[in-house]
Amino acid sequence: ATPMSVTVGVGRAAELGILIKDAEAMQQAAGIDTVVLDKTGTLTEGKPQVVDYKIYNTLTREQLVQLAASLEQSSEHPLANAIVQSAQQQQLDLYPHSDFMTYSGLGVSGTVDQQQLLLGNAKFMNQNNIKITHAETDFDFIANQGATPVYLAQNGLLAGIIGISDPLRKDSFSAVKRMQKMGLNVVMLTGDSIKTAQVIAAKLGITDVVADVLPDGKAAQITLLQQQGKRVAMVGDGINDAPALALAEVGIAMGSGTDVAIESAQFTLMRHSLHGVADALELSKATLRNIK
Ligand code: ADP
Ligand code: MG
């Protein structure tokens, strides 16, 4: 039978907007010493917007967005949504595309208006032998604002960079500070570039940053921490966070997240705030104290 105090704990958690799948999860949560936070959609709102453009050929800004958005129509990635939304706001017509391919953690490719397009990060450009060295200053300029630079290559040559920014949730800073005051190690884990990640981490007072992680690399990072003796809570929202959420001692999903993230986690935060993480861990500790 579930002890009375656990039932009370689960009820109290619900009042705080924290859904707990099983009472055992509270026991695990009481022993956590490390909190790993996904960046996009977890520390940030998950509503990225286009904020900057750089062009390296004869395209106009409108043409750059038009080509990129025509390709991204078929992608569900938050960055893709930002690009398509920007095209819509500028009332640009989109072309049909063919040969669409998506490369998880890298980008997308396809043919638009008889142009062979690649859209994604530096790793993706390097894999496809697209020269990007001449764009490094522009890349850094965008990344230094905490925005994500996305490269567009057209027929094997760099055509432009689109800078996309996702605002921090307004209480992420105070929630991180609260977790650190509780004595927890706070780590940021992201598929985004190290430059962008470090700018965001600095704003939040997070010094431990793991970036440029491919989707299957997130779970590997959890294993690495566990091998170092850490007891880990993973907090995330994306499909690519699901294996890490399942593997951690405690998985905590954002209520705004994907179904697969919520299914993989023991806790779900219905109030879109990372204070829910601190609340969940504090409450679990208090509940366990009442049993002993
Ligand atoms: P995360 O959700 O942790 O930021 P992802 O694994 O989803 O990481 O993506 C990592 C990186 O891959 C993105 O920051 C982006 O540079 C690139 N990428 C992935 N999908 C796309 C896409 N559809 N369009 C453009 N870039 C993409
Ligand atoms: Mg995410």
Closest C-alpha residue for ligand 1 atom 27? 107
Q: What's the pTM value of the predicted model, to 2 decimals?
A: 0.91
pLDDT greater than 80 at residue 291: no
Q: Does any ligand 1 atom lie closer than 6 A to the CB of residue 80?
A: yes
Most ligand 1 atoms within 8 A of CB, residue of 75, 121, 214, 254 to mutate: 121
Return the closest-CA partner of residue 80 out of 36, 20, 40. 40
pLDDT digit string, tens, across residues 126-154: 999 999 999 999 999 999 999 999 999 99
For residues 112 and 253, membership in a common domain is answered with: no
Closest C-alpha residue for ligand 1 atom 6? 105
Return the closest-CA partner of residue 163 out of 89, 65, 244, 254. 65
Closest C-alpha residue for ligand 1 atom 21? 107
pLDDT for 2 equals 66
pLDDT greater than 80 at residue 1: no
For residues 153 and 229, membership in a common domain is answered with: no
Domain's final residue, options 165, 192, 208: 165
Q: Are 182 and 30 in contact (CB under 8 A)?
A: no
Query: Averaged over 228-250, what is the pLDDT?
Result: 96
Closest C-alpha residue for ligand 1 atom 24? 107
- Looking at ligand 1, which atom is closest to the CA of residue 218? 3
Gap between the Cα atoms of 80 and 104, Å rounded: 13
Q: List the domain range (segments joined by +) for residue 193.
A: 4-45+168-291
Q: Does any ligand 1 atom lie closer than 6 A to the CB of residue 215?
A: yes
The DSSP code for 39 is: I
Name the token pair of 10: 């689960």
Most ligand 1 atoms within 8 A of CB, residue of 45, 97, 106 to mutate: 106
Residues 6+ apart with CB under 8 A from 291: 3, 5, 6
> DSSP letters of 117-173?
EEEE-HHHHHHTT---GGGHHHHHHHHTTTPEEEEEEETTEEEEEEEEE-PBPTTHH
For residues 66 and 157, membership in a common domain is answered with: yes
Report helix, strand or coil for 112.
strand
Catalytic residue among 33, 38, 99, 192: 38
Residue 76's pLDDT band, with cuts at 50, 70 and 90, is: confident
For residues 145 and 129, membership in a common domain is answered with: yes
For residues 81 and 218, membership in a common domain is answered with: no
Phi-psi category of 169—alpha, beta or left, where left has phi over 0 and alpha has psi -120 to 50? beta
pLDDT digit string, tens, across residues 172-202: 999 999 999 999 999 999 999 999 999 999 9
For residues 38 and 175, membership in a common domain is answered with: yes
For residues 57 and 101, membership in a common domain is answered with: yes
Q: Does any ligand 1 atom lie closer than 6 A to the CB of residue 268?
A: no
pLDDT digit string, tens, across residues 262-280: 999 999 999 989 999 999 9
pLDDT digit string, tens, across residues 89-126: 999 999 999 999 999 889 999 999 999 999 999 999 99
Gap between the Cα atoms of 200 and 194, Å rounded: 10
Return the closest-CA partner of residue 68 out of 139, 158, 148, 153. 153
Mean pLDDT rounded to a whole number for the chain: 95
Question: Does residue 38 carry a catalytic annotation?
Answer: yes
pLDDT digit string, tens, across residues 8-62: 888 899 999 999 998 889 999 999 999 999 999 999 999 999 999 999 999 999 9
* Residue whose token pair is 């927890």: 184
For residues 148 and 181, membership in a common domain is answered with: no
Instruction: List the alpha helices (DSSP H) in the chain.
Output: 4-15, 23-30, 61-72, 78-89, 122-127, 136-143, 172-181, 194-204, 217-227, 242-247, 259-264, 275-291
Domain's final residue, options 124, 139, 165: 165
ipTM: 0.94
Q: Does any ligand 1 atom lie closer than 6 A to the CB of residue 279?
A: no
pLDDT for 292 equals 64
The count of domains in the chain is: 2
